[in-house]
Amino acid sequence: MADPNAPGSGHPPAPPQQGQYPPQQYGGPPPQGFPAQGAPPHGAPAYGLPPPQQGQYPPYGQYPPQNPYPPQQAHQQHPPPGQYPPQSQYPTQYGQYQQPQPYPQPYQQPQGQYQPQQPPYGYPPQAPPAGYNAQPPAVPGYGAPPFGQNPSPLPNASGATMGAHPSMGYIPGQMSPDNLALDADALRAAMKGFGTNNKVLIKVLGRADPLAIERLKDTFAKNLGRDLKKDIISETSGNFENVLVALVHGPLKQDIYALRKALKGAGTDEAMLNDVLLGRSNADIRAIKTAYAAEFNKRSLEADVRDDLSGDVKALFNIVMTASRAEENEPIVPDHINQAVKDLRSATTGFTSDAIVAGRVFARHSNAQLRAIKQQYDAQSKTVLERAIESKFSGHMQAALLAILQSAVDPIKRDVQGLENAMKGWGTKDVHLIEKLVRIHWDKARMAHVKSMYKSIYHKELSSRVKGETSGDYRSALLEILE
Q: Is 207 within 8 Å of 129 (Cβ atoms)?
A: no
Mean per-residue pLDDT of the chain = 77
Q: Does position 83 have pLDDT exceeding 80, yes or no?
A: no
User: Over pLDDT 90: what percentage of the chain?
Assistant: 63
Whether 137 shows a pLDDT value over 50: the answer reads: no
Quick one: three-class SS letters along the chain? CCCCCCCCCCCCCCCCCCCCCCCCCCCCCCCCCCCCCCCCCCCCCCCCCCCCCCCCCCHHHCCCCCCCCCCCCCCCCCCCCCCCCCHHHCCCCCCCCCCCCCCCCCCCCCCCCCCCCCCCCCCCCCCCCCCCCCCCCCCCECCECCCCCCCCCEECCCCCEECCCCCCCCCCCCCCCCCCHHHHHHHHHHHCCCCCCHHHHHHHHHCCCHHHHHHHHHHHHHHHCCCHHHHHHHHCCHHHHHHHHHHHHHHHHHHHHHHHHHHCCCCCCHHHHHHHHCCCCHHHHHHHHHHHHHHCCCCCHHHHHHHHCCHHHHHHHHHHHCCCCCCCCCCCCHHHHHHHHHHHHHHHCCCCCCHHHHHHHHHHCCHHHHHHHHHHHHHHCCCCHHHHHHHHCCHHHHHHHHHHHHHHHCHHHHHHHHHHHHHCCCCCCHHHHHHHHHHHHCCHHHHHHHHHHHHHHHCCCHHHHHHHHCCHHHHHHHHHHHC
To which CATH superfamily is domain 309-409 assigned? Annexin (1.10.220.10)
Please provide residue 141's backbone torsions phi and psi, each rounded to the nearest 5 degrees: -115, 60
Cβ proximity of 366 and 144 under 8 Å? yes
Cα 99 from Cα 410, distance rounded (Å): 16
- Predicted local confidence at residue 273, as pLDDT: 98
Q: Which of 39-48, 346-355, 356-365 is predicted with the least confidence, judged by mean pLDDT? A: 39-48
Q: Where in the chain is the domain with CATH 1.10.220.10?
A: 128-138+173-236, 309-409
Lowest mean pLDDT among 64-68, 170-174, 320-324, 456-460: 64-68
Residue type, 365: H
CA-derived radius of gyration, the chain: 22
Give me the amino acid identity at 443.
Answer: D
Verdict on whether the full-model pTM lies above 0.75: no
> Would you call 426 exposed, middle or buried from its count of C-beta atoms within 10 A (0-12, 13-18, 19+)?
exposed
What are 161's strand-pairing partners? Answer: 155
Q: Tell how far CA 160 is from the center of its chain.
A: 26
Residue 81: predicted pLDDT = 40
Higher pLDDT, 211 or 158: 211
Answer yes or no: are the C-beta atoms of 218 and 176 closer than 8 Å: no
pLDDT at 255 over 90: yes
Burial 382-411 (b: 16+ CB within 10 A, else e): eeebbebbeebbeebbbbbbbbbbbbbbbb
Q: Across-strand partners of 155?
A: 161
d(CA 388, CA 341): 13
Output the pLDDT for position 353: 82
Q: Are strands 161-162 and 154-155 parallel, antiparallel or unpaired?
A: antiparallel
Please, are residues 53 and 127 in contact by the beta-carbon 8 Å criterion? yes
- pLDDT recorded at residue 265: 83
Question: What's the pLDDT band for 347 if we cut at 50, 70, 90?
Answer: very high
Give the whole-angstrom CA distance, residue 55 versus residue 131.
9
The angle that helices 334-348 and 385-392 make with each other, rounded to 10 degrees, is: 30
- pLDDT-wise least confident of 22-31, 212-221, 265-274, 303-312: 22-31
> What per-residue confidence (pLDDT) applies to 202?
98
- Signed CA dihedral, 137, 142, 143, 149: sign only: negative
Residue-wise pLDDT tens digits, 4-63 = 444 443 344 444 443 333 333 333 334 333 333 333 333 333 333 333 343 333 332 333
CA atoms within 13 A on the CB side of 427: 4
Cα-based distances in Å from 93 to 136, 210, 347, 358, 374: 26, 30, 23, 21, 11
Asked whether the beta carbons of 440 and 482 are under 8 A apart, the reply is no
Task: Report the b/e string of 345-370 with b at 16+ CB within 10 A.
Answer: bebbeeeebbbebbbbbbbbbbbbbb
Q: Cβ distance 369 to 332 under 8 Å?
A: yes
Is residue 179 within 8 Å of 222, Cβ to Cβ?
no
Question: Domain 128-138+173-236: which CATH class?
Answer: mainly alpha
How far apart, in whole angstroms, are the C-alpha atoms of residue 332 and residue 372?
A: 8
Cβ within 8 Å of residue 329, ≥6 positions away: 145, 150, 151, 152, 153, 154, 161, 164
